[in-house]
Homo-oligomer: A and B are copies of this chain.
């Protein structure tokens, strides 16, 4: 099976490596060409444009920053136009559900299948091939690319086009709220003179435990907010969650509160480029406390 990967940044590059290891023939394209050197050394072919990368491939995987970047490579730079009827686009970027539905519809008119398949698990999940892949699209198309997903993590088809993107937004809402819960607990125990590291250790495996408690709780304690997942992206995700939910007439009080607080962190406290664990700084600021 011949695969093209458009976008070989922090996530796309390790995903491409796992596909090469599994024996797929992989062509790569990236906006900044320097990022493909390690993949070429591992056996990938580099293409000069999205259109040249996509031509004659069975599957074109897209992993770029947002919906307009997806639209650009697919429809403005000619990737879709150069694909064969019966080929499949797997869009693993995190974009709005409505955008994914629009791309699926336009590709269907060209005889091209589409799966929206955003992921959770970060660069570590991409490297170890253990990504959670939230998929939306048609069952037959999904079944046809199962081996590709197996090389990168575990995928579940959640419903029609856009369902994967919608699930990713719900995932992000949980993450943003849990970061806030961990921030409040970390501050509480710290101010009570309890070592947050011991607190995290005793909670391990219990009802309050999570990857976020262990990883982001440690970042908060250390004041280490190098990203990871940027607060500006967390804010964008929460705004997308609430835009979708307002359109559905849904009121989500915790998600709304967290959107407002990430907005404060990004727009007033200058924390947009910090890891989303930096919500701890918003909580410190609110309490007039220092790290």
Chain A interface (Cβ < 8 Å from any Cβ of B): 97, 120-122, 125, 130, 132-134, 154-160, 163, 166-167, 169-175, 177-178, 180-182, 184-185, 187-189, 191-195, 198-199, 201-213, 241, 244-245, 248-255, 257-258, 261, 283, 286-287
CB <8 Å contact, B207 and A158: no
A133, B212: Cα distance in complex, Å: 21
With contacts A120-B207, A167-B194 known, what are 18 further pairs, Cβ within 8 A?
A122-B207, A132-B203, A156-B198, A163-B193, A171-B185, A171-B203, A171-B207, A174-B203, A175-B207, A177-B181, A178-B208, A180-B253, A181-B254, A188-B244, A207-B210, A207-B211, A210-B210, A252-B283
Chain B residues within an 8 Å CB radius of A283: 252-253
CB <8 Å contact, A211 and B206: yes
- State whether A195 and B245 are in contact (beta carbons under 8 Å apart), knowing that A177-B184, A178-B210, A207-B121 are contacts in the complex: no
- State whether A202 and B166 are in contact (beta carbons under 8 Å apart), knowing that A178-B178, A210-B178 are contacts in the complex: no
CB <8 Å contact, B166 and A194: yes
- State whether A203 and B120 are in contact (beta carbons under 8 Å apart), knowing that A286-B251, A287-B251 are contacts in the complex: yes
A217 closest partner in B (C-beta): B174
Q: Which of A173, A194, A206, A210 has the most CB of B within 10 A?
A: A206
CB <8 Å contact, B257 and A202: no
24 A–B contacts from the bound complex (CB under 8 Å): A97-B192, A120-B203, A132-B204, A132-B205, A132-B206, A134-B202, A154-B202, A156-B198, A156-B202, A158-B198, A158-B202, A163-B194, A166-B188, A169-B188, A173-B184, A174-B184, A174-B185, A174-B208, A174-B213, A177-B180, A178-B210, A184-B253, A188-B252, A192-B244
Chain B residues within an 8 Å CB radius of A132: 202-206
A154, B207: Cα distance in complex, Å: 14
CB <8 Å contact, B163 and A192: yes
A185, B177: Cα distance in complex, Å: 11
A121, B122: Cα distance in complex, Å: 29
The residue from B157, B170, B193, B211 contacting A189, defined by CB atoms under 8 A apart: B170
Chain B residues within an 8 Å CB radius of A213: 174
A238 CB to nearest chain B CB (Å): 11
The residue from B170, B194, B201, B255 contacting A159, defined by CB atoms under 8 A apart: B194
